[in-house]
Structure 1
Amino acid sequence: MNRDTVISIAKGIAIILMVVAHAEAPGWLCKFIFEFHMPLFFITAGYFFSLKYLNDEATFVKKRVKGLYWPFVKWSVFFLIIHNWMFDIGILNERFGNETGGVTHPYTCHQIQQNLWHIFTAMGGYDQFLCGAFWFFRGLFVASILYLIIYKVVLHVLPEKRANAAPYLICLIMLLLCAWKTYEGLKIITLVQGGYRDLMGCFFFGCGFIFRQYAGQYRQFIGRHYAALWTTILFAVIVFLFSKYLTANMNWRSTFVQFLSLPIPALLGFLMTYNISLWLDRHEGRLKQFLVYTGNNTLNIFIFHIVAYKVVSLLKIWYYGLDIRQIGCHMVIHEYSQQDLFWILYTIAGVGLPLGCTWLSRKIKERVRGYKASSGSRPQ
């Protein structure tokens, strides 16, 4: 069994759940999803962390820059450039906005320049209404590099015979820092949004690294005596109870109580998703292929799902006869959202359009490369 495929399936499920939640699905479902879907991405990232990077920091940082910082900068700048144009063509407006009534405005020349600096220097300044999920890039970038730094420091402090305790000590340190931060309402002023997501991301990143050490034993356990079924149901029930009575997520403004409520459902939600992914991995077919492809292309869904929603918003405006300016709602049109099933169409568009464009662009690139190769091999 290919463990990478299992993790790809888990990431595919998680990104679909993210799109569902952003599409304003029924409230109980959104609360359930928010308990674990973002921690899952940090856990799966930590799953692939290797101790070899402790002595090859440059390679690790380069990978993080290439895989997280550069895509963030590239697409943040792109959406910054088209921000005012979105007002000109009606995609954004100053009448309709988010659920709380907040709206966005055209940028002045000074604001554009300030946001540009913010994008490059702090991984902030992105368009909130078109790039609402971009905080994740900064969160994972900071969390992963922070984990590497703390790991090296802890190994330097611990006796050599206690080195195996380092991953557990790091997770404990991050939990204590988050507890202190949320209890006192503190902020890391050098990190956009105060740093809570980054610190909790580092904790979950560490959990992913620890889980990998026991993944083989875990798979053997749940593979016996229907353990996969009853543990999955048990984990789902616990996560649901947390979502109903102790709701929490990776909100940057989380309170101390919300912090206390997050780790258990987040970790159990990951195990629930991992169990389902293991089962799906054993069944070859279109569903597995789709989820693996989705999990391997989560980046493009993160970037473009909000823009893809606009296609369905046009359909909803036509169906209900709404003001055309409601296409500017963030992330989807809020009117009737808890009464109809448009969230399903939003989900299909939010996942399907980015994936379809990804597949098409790669096919075009392959054709171009093939054409260039065949042209170059022809005799002169």
Structure 2
Amino acid sequence: MNTHMNTLKALGIIIVVTGHIAGYVFPPYSFHMPLFVFIFGYFYKTSHQARIFNYVKKKFKDLVIPYYKWNLFYGILVFILTSINLITFGQSLSFHSFFVESWLSGHQYLFNLAAWFVLSLFLIQIIYILSGALLNKFGISNEFLLMGIYLVIGLGQRFMLLNKR
């Protein structure tokens, strides 16, 4: 990995930590989370589209399996600490909290709060490769078009959230 990307990752980590400690300099998640997605996307190779199943399997093994291993650890930890009345927060360990809630919010065990990004990153990568493959089926292989589509979707979502208030 090159020095520029390491510098960008360090900057992203500093911005995340600063945002959680000192309040938000930018609106929540408007800058630092897209920065991490950009960094991961920078290393994406279009050659993966030839082997989509292998790509999804590898990402599942690299991101989702370790996520659930850690989530199980934190679920058991929260269960033990609530059983002895040491803490009174976090959901109890159940099928729903372990498998379902992790995809909905990722905030079920609180000690593992920051891990929500792992599943989000997995979904982003899978959606990206599938949508790229779909466009390729129509003879379109333009990364800028795909970026534009995602930009419009993101801005539209933000616009809808702002107008909902």
TM-score range, shorter chain: 0.7 to 0.9
**Partner residue, 2:124:** 143
Q: Does 1:31 align with 2:29?
A: no
User: Larger radius of gyration, structure 1 or 2?
Assistant: 1
For structure 2, the residue ranges without an aligned partner over 5 or more in a row are: none
* 1: CA distance, partners of 2:48 / 2:163: 33
Q: 2:47 aligns with which of 52, 56, 76?
A: 52
TM-score (norm 1): 0.38
Q: Residues 133 and 49 (structure 1 numbering): CA distance in 2 closer, same or farther, change over 3 Å?
A: same
Aligned residues: 163
Q: Does 1:43 align with 2:43?
A: no
1:203-242 to 2 correspondence within 5 Å? none
* Aligned-residue offset at 1:148: 0.6
* Aligned-residue offset at 1:180: 4.4
Q: 1:82 aligns with which of 70, 73, 77?
A: 77
* Aligned-residue offset at 1:172: 1.9
SS at match of 1:56: helix
Q: Residues 19 and 80 (structure 1 numbering): CA distance in 2 closer, same or farther, change over 3 Å?
A: same
Q: Residues 124 and 63 (structure 1 numbering): CA distance in 2 closer, same or farther, change over 3 Å?
A: farther
* Aligned-residue offset at 1:123: 6.9
Q: Pick 1 or 2: higher relative contact order, CA cutoff 8 A, min separation 6.
A: 1
**Partner residue, 2:98:** 116
Q: Which amino acid aligns with 2:120?
A: G
* 2: CA distance, partners of 1:112 / 1:55: 38
Q: Which amino acid aligns with 1:174?
A: Y
The one-character-per-residue Cα deviations of 1:250-275 (angstroms, maximum 9, x if unpaired) are xxxx4359xxxxxxxxxxxxxxxxxx
* Aligned-residue offset at 1:14: 1.3
TM-score (norm 2): 0.80
Q: 1:255 aligns with which of 135, 148, 162?
A: 162
The one-character-per-residue Cα deviations of 1:157-207 (angstroms, maximum 9, x if unpaired) are 246xxx3xx2111122223334444555xxxxxxxxxxxxxxxxxxxxxxx
Percent identity, please: 24
Q: Which amino acid aligns with 1:167?
A: E
**Partner residue, 2:57:** 62
1:1-380 to 2 correspondence within 5 Å? 4-22=2-20, 24-25=21-22, 27=23, 30-32=24-26, 34=28, 35-87=30-82, 88=84, 90=86, 92-93=87-88, 104=89, 107=92, 112-118=94-100, 122=103, 126-158=107-139, 163=141, 166-183=142-159, 254-255=161-162
Q: CA RMSD in A?
A: 2.9
Q: Is the 8 Å Cα contact of residues 68 and 141 (structure 1) preserved in structure 2?
A: yes
The one-character-per-residue Cα deviations of 1:94-133 (angstroms, maximum 9, x if unpaired) are xxxxxxxxxx3562xxx6232133268x475653521222
* 2: CA distance, partners of 1:151 / 1:106: 37
* 2: CA distance, partners of 1:15 / 1:52: 29
Q: Which amino acid aligns with 1:172?
A: G
Q: Residues 7 and 125 (structure 1 numbering): CA distance in 2 closer, same or farther, change over 3 Å?
A: closer
Q: Residues 256 and 33 (structure 1 numbering): CA distance in 2 closer, same or farther, change over 3 Å?
A: closer
For structure 1, the residue ranges without an aligned partner over 5 or more in a row are: 94-103, 185-253, 258-380
Q: Is the 8 Å Cα contact of residues 77 and 116 (structure 1) preserved in structure 2?
A: yes
SS at match of 2:63: helix
